[in-house]
Amino acid sequence: MRETLRMIIVLTVIGMVSGLVLSLTNSWTQPIIQDNLARRLQESVLEVLPGTKSVRSVELPAQSPSSDHPSPGADQKNKERVSMIIESLDESEEPVGFAFVTEESGYGGVLKVLVGVHVPEMKISSITILEHGETPGIGSRIEGAEFRDQFIGLTTNDPITLNRDIDNLTGATVSAKAVTDAVRLGLEIAVPAYEGGR
Amino acid sequence: MRMFKDFTKGLWAENPTFRLLIGLCPVLGVTTSVVNGVSMGVATTFVLVCSSLIISLLKKVIPSGVRIPAYIVLISTFVTIVELVMKAFMPDIHSVLGVFIPLIAVNCIVLGRAEAYASKMPVIWSGFDALGMGLGFTWALVLLSSIRELLGEGKLLGYSVLGDGFTPWKIMGQAPGAFITLGLLLGLMNLIPIMINKFKSKSSKAE
């Protein structure tokens, strides 16, 4: 009985001290981690929308399902497709455009794309791949400027479809299609969301 | 002398990667570039040294019935500290190493040293033992990652060294490259003592 009590007390004390140490470490590092994330995001927005001086997050309305995908499964997917819309402002606080994060399943897991859109013409200024798990040297070519630059200047009126206005990447169709779909379907959600959110 | 022995055995005679063949998951997973290898090695060494010291200090306090859960709690505390600090101050390296940082908690080198050494030996010896093991693990990671980065990308530490004429062996950057390189290195590490012994017996015969 004494031995059991000792086990309980020792393990409890170790757990409590560990918890205390971790919560102190967390409160020390958390602000820095948040800063890092915010800075990285701002840098990415600057990359897709040159001329950005400050950013402002746009509230995401309940995302309406895309008319292309009437099935309930697709509705669910589209709801989570666009995770963030950020408005970018220049020196005089005038909007340069907005950027949004859109995702799609690639060949090696979820692929996140940041798309910059100029306003008021609603043309894509640039896209950048934030996160991907595609095969190095094959699918990872979606990160290359040659592939990404094909999206510049496209609008929701364009098909944004592989092999129509976007050239495929040999041997990496899944990856290329994932980016194309992410941009097209993301744009369909983000443009009305941005217009409605202002 | 004892401390020196404790320290050096991890580097060669009981090297966790090349001799004991434990903790190979990160060895295969993160060694695509030298920077990753070094960071992983340093992070693991930090966790090893801290947890060995604490466990050795507490060896009389922790009842043997709950020693494993107690060790795991202590080890994962240090791992979480490493993860948070890396996220805050080295976000780029953290995003590359990703899941392998929290997985240090289940690296059998760490629990192995706690169970086999730190829970029985004095604090200072345990510290040197952990430091030796950690550095042994680190140099193994550095060796493997140098080979893979050199052949897989033609670079070392991010600088191009093999020139433009070199076609990178893409396979070296992926899992099969890790297995092939590790296999060849293990063979080489076994060959070295054999060659030394042969050389020694030859020279003693000559005498």
Give me the pLDDT at residue A67, please.
Answer: 47
Give me the pLDDT at residue A137, please.
Answer: 76
Domain membership of residue B17 (yes or no) is: yes
Domain membership of residue A18 (yes or no) is: no
Digit-coded pLDDT (tens) for B151-161: 888 888 878 87
What range does the domain containing B183 cover?
A: 2-198
Which range in A34-38, A77-81, B24-28, B126-130 is most confidently predicted, on average pLDDT? B126-130
Domain membership of residue B143 (yes or no) is: yes
How confident is the prediction for chain B on average, in pLDDT?
88
Domain membership of residue A26 (yes or no) is: no
Q: Does the distance separating the beta carbons of A135 and B174 come in below 8 Å? A: yes
Is B130's pLDDT higher than 50?
yes
Domain membership of residue A139 (yes or no) is: yes
Query: Which residues make beta-bridge pairs with A160?
Result: none
Once rounded to an integer, what is the mean pLDDT over residues B34-57?
93
- In angstroms, what CA-CA distances link A67 with A27, A63, A70, A97? 45, 12, 6, 25
Give me the pLDDT at residue A61, please.
Answer: 60
Q: Does the distance separating the beta carbons of B77 and A21 come in below 8 Å? A: yes
Digit-coded pLDDT (tens) for B134-193: 999 999 999 999 999 988 888 888 788 777 777 888 888 888 889 999 999 999 988 988
Once rounded to an integer, what is the mean pLDDT over residues A21-50?
88
Domain membership of residue B207 (yes or no) is: no
Domain membership of residue A54 (yes or no) is: yes
Q: Which residues of B touch A21 (CB under 8 A)?
A: 77, 81
Q: Does the distance separating the beta carbons of A40 and B84 come in below 8 Å? A: no
Domain membership of residue A1 (yes or no) is: no
How confident is the prediction for chain A on average, in pLDDT?
83
- A120: cis peptide before it, omega within 30°? yes
For residues B45 and B106, is the Cβ–Cβ distance under 8 A?
A: no
Q: Does the distance separating the beta carbons of A135 and B81 come in below 8 Å? A: no
Q: Which residues of B touch A136 (CB under 8 A)?
A: 170, 173-174
Domain count, chain B: 1
Q: Measure A39 CA to nearest chain B CA, in Å.
A: 11
Q: With helix as H, strand as E and coil as C, how does chain A read?
A: CHHHHHHHHHHHHHHHHHHHHHHHHHHHHHHHHHHHHHHHHHHHHHHHCCCCCEEEEECCCCCCCCCCCCCHHHHHHHHHHEEEEEEEECCCCCEEEEEEEEEEEECCEEEEEEEEEECCCCEEEEEEEEECCCCCCCHHHHHCHHHHHHHCCCCCCCCCCECCCECCCCCCHHHHHHHHHHHHHHHHHHHHHHHHHC
Domain membership of residue B203 (yes or no) is: no
ipTM of the complex in this document:
0.80
Domain count, chain A: 1
Domain membership of residue B50 (yes or no) is: yes
Domain membership of residue B190 (yes or no) is: yes
- Give the C-alpha separation, B14 to B11, whole Å: 7
Is A26's pLDDT higher than 70?
yes
For chains A and B, CB pairs below 8 A equal 58
Per-residue pLDDT band for A78 (boundaries 50, 70, 90) equals low
What range does the domain containing A124 cover?
A: 48-197
